[in-house]
Amino acid sequence: MPVYKYKAVKETGDKKEGKYTANSKNEVISMLRDNKYYPIKIEELQEDRNIKLTNLFNRVKTKDLAIFCRQFHTMLDAGVTIINCLDILKQQTENKKLKVELGKIYDEVQKGSTLSEALRKHDEFFDELLINMVEAGEASGTLDVIMNRMAVHYEKENKISNKVKNAMVYPLILSIVSIFVVIFLLIVVMPSFISMFQGAGVALPLPTRILLAISNGIKENWYLMVISIAFLLYILNRYKGTENGSKFFDRVKLKIPIIKKTTIKIVTSRFTRTLSTLLGSGVSLLQSLDIVSRVVGNKVVAEDILQAKEDIRKGINLAEPIRKSGIFPPMVVSMVKIGEESGSLEEMLEKTADFYDDEVEAAMEKMTTALEPIMIIVMAIVIGSIVIAMILPMFEMINTLQF
């Protein structure tokens, strides 16, 4: 999505400027109006891919954000001022990148900026969710409560991310080992094995000749293959970085049978957890949906959330557009509907998020359990085919000796 830089003002004369990711200028205008601001200037920022990649690597990790928010909450709750909190945190933070940014934020707050304004100036390091939540906490005078909520949020988000990464370790290792075994068989074992039969004048069967040609091709043109694979990965990465490419891969995740259910549960957990956190902190539903669409981690789902926002603007309850999207499980729709009818949407979303946090863990275990035998079978078929192709000439030799 394009990034827009805006300047706006309230009726009270308070000015605000910052950056906002949206599909169009109209979305930026709607966001500002929802927060009772009047836009003065809105312009689209032209960012190239190198800047985006730099921002991606610069962004503070979820684990570090969780520690930052937890420590900030503890000190605020003990009566320490924001300035002193920042001073202590910038000295004791182990993450060097975060230490440097906290030093800059400390200087800006000392000069009179609010914490949210200082964070917004460094939005390539801190995500929009945290910035908006801090702003809401400052406006309501509950920054300590907000920091506690964000600490819990990032701790659970980090837990989910670790589960996903850990679940993919075994399949990744198995894939790498399989590739190396196949390459070793093709370029080391097979040529020396086949040369024995060729020296004996045995005619090589077709499968053996095909594999021998592949083996020779790899040995003679390995550098071209490496360059081709690297180029293909580069093109895929570039395409994935585009709006259409990102949507394509996110759509694929929602269609592949093995990972579809797991993806939906992860998205559901993030959606309900983030929306509950935002609503519980006093952020409006429309603005909350805007923020959630950017942190949910799936472009297809993000579009459905933005469509839900437009439906709500027309007077429709949240449960109905969620049901129409066809992505979220029926339980989520029911819980949202009950929450809206009882006036306890935040609590219902939090309970749903807790349930799907456990579901994500179970789903990752099931997916890993399902992937293991599939990958072992595929590896056995590939390696078995190579071995059979190598010993086929032996049967030809035996038949020749018999006659």
Is the pLDDT at 58 greater than 80, yes or no? no
* Token pair of 263 as six digits: 């993806």
Tokens 């709750």 belong to which residue? 77
Confidence of residue 70 (pLDDT cuts 50, 70, 90): very high
Q: How does DSSP assign 144-193, residue by residue?
A: HHHHHHHHHHHHHHHHHHHHHHHHHHHHHHHHHHHHHHHHHIIIIIHHHH
Q: Which fold has domain 156-402?
A: Receptor-associated Protein (1.20.81)
Q: Going by DSSP bridges, is the β-strand pair 38-45/3-9 parallel, antiparallel, or unpaired?
A: antiparallel
Which are the contacts of 384, defined by CB distance < 8 A and separation ≥ 6?
Answer: none
3-class DSSP state for residue 37?
A: coil
Question: What CATH class does 59-155 carry?
Answer: mainly alpha
More confident residue, 391 or 81: 81
Confidence of residue 57 (pLDDT cuts 50, 70, 90): very low
Confidence of residue 397 (pLDDT cuts 50, 70, 90): low
pLDDT digits (tens, 9 = 90+) for 131-189: 888 888 887 788 888 899 889 888 888 888 887 788 778 778 888 888 888 888 888 88
* Mean pLDDT for the chain overall: 82
Is the pLDDT at 23 greater than 70, yes or no? no
Tokens 């601001």 belong to which residue? 37
More confident residue, 346 or 21: 346
Confidence of residue 49 (pLDDT cuts 50, 70, 90): very low
pLDDT digits (tens, 9 = 90+) for 296-343: 888 889 889 988 988 998 888 999 999 988 889 999 999 999 999 998
Q: Which long-range contacts (CB under 8 A, 24 or more apart) does 371-375 make?
A: 371/170, 371/171, 371/258, 372/170, 372/171, 372/174, 374/258, 375/171, 375/174, 375/175, 375/178
DSSP letter assigned to residue 94? -
Out of 12-21, 90-99, 100-109, least confident range: 12-21
Cα–Cα distances (Å) from 267 to 54, 106, 246, 261, in that order, read 26, 35, 15, 10
pLDDT digits (tens, 9 = 90+) for 209-250: 888 888 888 888 888 888 998 999 999 888 887 888 888 989
Out of 44-48, 94-98, 338-342, 380-384, least confident range: 44-48
Cα–Cα distance for residue pair 298/289, rounded to 1 Å: 14
Tell me, what's the pLDDT at 46? 58
Tell me, what's the pLDDT at 2? 66
* Token pair of 252 as six digits: 């694929």
Confidence of residue 26 (pLDDT cuts 50, 70, 90): confident
Confidence of residue 50 (pLDDT cuts 50, 70, 90): very low
pLDDT digits (tens, 9 = 90+) for 260-304: 888 898 899 889 988 888 888 788 888 888 888 888 888 889 889
Is the pLDDT at 51 greater than 60, yes or no? no
